Every structure is written in C-alpha cells, then in structure tokens.
Amino acid sequence: MTVWDNMGEFFDGLARDFRGWEGERVWGHNNLVVTATFGSGGHVHLNWTLRSGFLPGDWHGTVTTVIEAGEGMKAVAGGLREFLREE
C-alpha cells in the first residue's frame, strides 16, 4: 500500500463520468488534495492543492488544470496509472 492508493481509481471514475456530475469530487492524502468539478462545455476542472501543513500560517498553493471530459480525461487517467505503475 502506498500514499497514492486510490488516486488511479479516482481519475478512472472521472473519466467514466464524462457526461458530468454535480458538486465536487475530492481525492487527498496528507499534503496533496485534488478537487474535480465538471464545468460547462464538457470540461473537468482539476484543482491541485499542495500544502506545507494544516496549521494557520502554513503555506499552500493551488494550480487548476482544465481537461476535456471524454478522451482527454481518459488519457490523463491512463497516464497517471502508467506513472504510478498500476497498469
């Protein structure tokens, strides 16, 4: 078991639901949190937040990536599985 367990499943689920969903979907482990929302035009908005800790005053940074919900998300999920060696 690694810190990345279930991350591949999270992204596979986003790829399967290419028609969209309501609200946010969240995957996180310790200092990394990925929040996914389905946006207009068939795109998934992924907010990647990295934080130094959980106390007031600790730093954090967020980057947003926008990916096409169909084939684009499927490619990201496959690439992630390859990177994590979960093939």
Task: Give the mean pLDDT of the chain.
Answer: 91
User: pLDDT tens-digit profile of 69-81?
Assistant: 999 999 999 999 8
Average pLDDT of the segment spanning 38-64: 93
- Tell me the two tokens of residue 86: 């979960």
Residue 82 CA: distances (Å) to CA of 1, 18, 87: 17, 21, 6
- List of E strands, 41-82: 43-51, 60-68
Greatest extent of the chain over all pairs of C-alpha atoms, in Å: 40
User: pLDDT tens-digit profile of 2-23?
Assistant: 667 789 899 999 999 999 999 9
The pTM score is 0.86
CA distance 5 to 47: 19
The pLDDT assigned to 53 comes to 87
Q: Residue 38: pLDDT above 60?
A: yes
